[in-house]
Amino acid sequence: MGKCVEDFVVGEIRVSPARTVTETDVVTYAWLSGDSNPMHTDAEYAGRSPLGARIAHGTLGMSLVTGFSARMGDFDGTAIAALGVDEWRFLAPIFIGDTLHLRTTVRDARPTSRLDRGVVVRFMELVNQDGTVVQSGLMTTMTYTREGLARSQDDDPRAS
């Protein structure tokens, strides 16, 4: 079970397991998103660019952030809704073969005026194998309070 809003500590830093970005990831994301920009799909074109090689889509990096976050388990069974992504920055390219992980820092965790839920703001940093932060920004999530989670489980017909 994930954390409720009261369980998050401002300043707490967590790090996810790592994952290597593959050719399949980039090709599949190009197909799924419809973004077939040659920087992602054409090795000859990208090789002549200032970056010298194909890169992953910026939004693929953001998708990996949400996947890393899920793997960390902080919101397993406690998240209600994603509320926003703010101040997102694409700081360095993600190349095929880069190994990435997520570093999160809790910036805010507070109950709302509704006693069953709260809001957690985390600073997210997508970091490559060299320690370079390739993307960063704030993600805000609505999550249950302990009281709200207990009430939701009492109301869940699957719990009986």
pLDDT at 124 over 60: yes
For residue 74, tell me if it sits in a domain: yes
pLDDT per position as a tens digit, 62-73: 999 999 999 999
Extended beta strands in the chain, E state: 13-15, 19-20, 79-90, 99-111, 117-127, 133-144
Mean pLDDT, rounded, for 127-131: 98
Domain region containing 119: 5-20+57-159
Q: For residue 113, which phi and psi values (nearest 5 degrees)?
A: -70, -20
Query: What tokens does 90 get?
Result: 């694409």
For residue 30, tell me if it sits in a domain: no
Question: What is the four-CA torsion angle of 34, 38, 44, 48, rounded to 10 degrees?
Answer: -160
For residue 29, tell me if it sits in a domain: no
For residue 47, tell me if it sits in a domain: no
For residue 130, tell me if it sits in a domain: yes
pLDDT at 108 over 90: yes
Using pLDDT thresholds of 50, 70 and 90, give the confidence band for residue 153: confident
For residue 32, tell me if it sits in a domain: no
pLDDT for the residue numbered 158: 55
Question: What is the four-CA torsion angle of 135, 137, 141, 146, rounded to 10 degrees?
Answer: 100
What does the mean pLDDT of the chain come to? Answer: 95
Judged on CB neighbours under 10 Å (0-12, 13-18, 19+), 146 is: middle
Any idea what the CATH number is for the domain that residue 88 is in? 3.10.129.10
For residue 146, tell me if it sits in a domain: yes
For residue 122, tell me if it sits in a domain: yes
